[in-house]
């Protein structure tokens, strides 16, 4: 899960890293103390590009800050409603650098990236970040970063070196999959301040990660998707309230693939879903929950189901799906299901005996084509 900037910085602050003085506010009339203008008002959403979207404002007076708060708290940035803002003291600095650590699962190591140029245009700069890889072990990461640092201008090396070691320790201790500092403000020859921070924590480490659990206990309302997952045992994210295709899928990767493919074809997916068929345990509750959420979507034209079953019994899934449809009569849109795996023929027979309320295909491309045709109003 990607943390909000405020929480990411607070985790670094308690570990002794220098971050600007700041407060988190949820309303435009919240007190600013102990801060005083000038301040930077920053939308707290788990995505990049806030500045370009108008979600960051540098304010010279309290009145400007109030106006910016009132505006930003009504925004949605890349589909994420702004529920809170970080008010932060501006940092006087002489340079901006870039430093990140990211788990590279494909190569079973950590990729380190570094640049003498930080800021919003880091990906489009003529001098792109340079990188190297190392084992996910503190000494190896520090050594690799030290070697990479030789490519920095000499005027930045000492400050970046001073930042590297505590950031490596934080990356390992917090069981992060990404820790990106952009910009890393260089304030003096050997001093730095964390300007902005992206911190992604491993969901699988939640139960043993006290820092992660503490954030969810304090600020559950700011992480609705993670709160849903903790309460319900599966992933569900509403992507576009005006979306036309609802998704009921197993596997996060395949769900994201479907979202990308439908978007590329000009259709708006309503949601992301990784329902995990192994968690049904003979109960239709998860399917009922998702159908109720889809029924509330004003523009849903079709539901696309993808159940790729290994040991899961597709016949059981078919029975649970029929129960869910009976319990949610307000869901009227047609349904297309791609099913493949254990007891496929029995699942087809169960749905056929019920009058085929779900059109089933074993081929994913054909199922997608059917769903797109239904969403586009094409009868086939």
Kindly state whether residues 63 and 112 are assigned to the same domain: no
Confidence of residue 309 (pLDDT cuts 50, 70, 90): low
140: domain range?
A: 95-206
Strand ranges (E), the chain: 22-25, 39-43, 56-59, 76-77, 80-81, 85-88, 95-104, 109-115, 130-134, 176-186, 192-194, 197-201, 235-238, 245-249, 271-274, 302-308, 335-340, 358-361
Domain CATH for 72: 3.30.1490.20
Identify the weakest region by mean pLDDT among 133-137, 156-160, 341-345. Answer: 341-345
Confidence of residue 228 (pLDDT cuts 50, 70, 90): confident
State residue 90's pLDDT score. Answer: 96
Query: Exposed, middle or buried: residue 330 (CB in 10 Å: 0-12, 13-18, 19+)?
Result: exposed
Kindly state whether residues 284 and 367 are assigned to the same domain: yes
**CA 321 to each of CA 42, 160, 252, 334: distance values in angstroms, whole numbers, following the listed order:** 44, 56, 20, 13
Domain CATH for 245: 3.40.50.261
d(CA 108, CA 11): 26
Confidence of residue 342 (pLDDT cuts 50, 70, 90): confident
d(CA 86, CA 63): 16
Kindly state whether residues 355 and 251 are assigned to the same domain: yes
Please identify which residue in the block is written with the tokens 């940035």: 77
Kindly state whether residues 136 and 249 are assigned to the same domain: no
Task: Give a yes or no: residue 9 inside a domain.
Answer: no
Confidence of residue 249 (pLDDT cuts 50, 70, 90): confident
Confidence of residue 379 (pLDDT cuts 50, 70, 90): very low
State residue 112's pLDDT score. Answer: 97
The residue among 61 and 241 whose pLDDT is bigger is 61
Confidence of residue 380 (pLDDT cuts 50, 70, 90): very low
User: Across residues 170-184, what is the average pLDDT?
Assistant: 96
Count Cβ neighbours within 10 Å for each residue of 136-157 and write b for 16 or more, e otherwise: eeeeebbebbeebbeebeeebb
Using one digit for the tens of pLDDT, what is the confidence trace for 343-371?
A: 999 999 999 999 999 999 988 889 989 99
Please identify which residue in the block is written with the tokens 């509330």: 296
39-42, long-range: CB within 8 Å, 24+ apart, which pairs? 39/65, 39/87, 39/88, 39/89, 39/90, 40/87, 40/88, 40/89, 40/90, 41/65, 41/68, 41/69, 41/72, 41/85, 41/86, 41/87, 42/5, 42/85, 42/86, 42/87, 42/88
Task: Give a yes or no: residue 249 inside a domain.
Answer: yes
Kindly state whether residues 291 and 328 are assigned to the same domain: yes
Cα-flanking dihedrals φ and ψ of residue 103, to 5°? -65, 125
Whether residue 296 has pLDDT greater than 80: yes
Task: Give a yes or no: residue 189 inside a domain.
Answer: yes
Total number of domains in the chain: 3
Kindly state whether residues 82 and 106 are assigned to the same domain: no
Kindly state whether residues 366 and 256 are assigned to the same domain: yes
Residue 318: both structure tokens together? 């078919």
Domain end point (choices 33, 55, 88): 88
């Amino acid at each position: 899960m990607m943390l909000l900037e405020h929480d990411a910085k607070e985790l670094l602050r308690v570990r002794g890293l220098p971050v600007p003085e700041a407060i988190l506010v949820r309303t435009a009339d919240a007190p600013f103390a102990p801060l005083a203008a000038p301040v930077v008002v920053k939308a707290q959403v788990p995505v990049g590009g806030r500045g370009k979207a108008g979600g960051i404002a540098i304010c010279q007076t309290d009145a400007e800050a109030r106006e910016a708060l009132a505006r930003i708290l009504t925004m949605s940035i890349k589909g994420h409603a702004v529920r809170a803002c970080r008010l932060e003291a501006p940092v006087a600095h002489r340079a901006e650098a870039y430093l990140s650590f990211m788990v590279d699962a494909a190569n079973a190591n950590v990729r380190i990236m570094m640049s003498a140029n930080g800021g919003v245009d880091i990906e489009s700069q003529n001098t792109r970040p340079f990188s190297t890889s190392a084992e996910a072990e503190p000494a190896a990461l520090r050594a690799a970063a030290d070697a990479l640092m030789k490519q920095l201008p000499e005027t930045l090396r000492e400050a970046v070196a001073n930042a590297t070691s505590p950031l490596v320790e934080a990356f390992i201790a917090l069981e992060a999959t990404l820790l990106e500092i952009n910009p890393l403000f260089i304030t003096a020859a050997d001093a730095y301040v964390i300007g902005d921070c992206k911190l992604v924590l491993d969901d699988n480490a939640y139960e043993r990660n006290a820092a992660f659990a503490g954030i969810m206990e304090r600020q559950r309302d700011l992480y609705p998707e993670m709160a849903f997952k903790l309460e319900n045992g599966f992933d569900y994210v509403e992507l576009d309230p005006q979306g036309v295709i609802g998704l009921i899928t197993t596997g996060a990767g395949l769900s994201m693939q479907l979202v990308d493919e439908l978007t590329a074809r000009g259709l708006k997916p309503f949601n992301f879903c990784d329902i995990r068929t192994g968690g049904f345990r003979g109960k239709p509750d998860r399917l009922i929950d998702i159908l109720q959420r889809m029924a509330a979507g004003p523009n849903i034209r079709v539901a696309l189901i993808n159940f790729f079953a290994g040991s899961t019994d597709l016949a059981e899934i078919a029975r649970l799906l029929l129960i869910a449809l009976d319990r949610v009569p307000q869901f009227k849109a047609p349904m297309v299901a791609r099913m493949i795996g254990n007891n496929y023929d029995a699942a087809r027979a169960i749905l056929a005996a019920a009058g085929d309320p779900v059109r089933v295909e074993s081929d994913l491309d054909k199922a997608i084509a059917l769903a797109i045709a239904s969403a586009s109003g094409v009868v086939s």
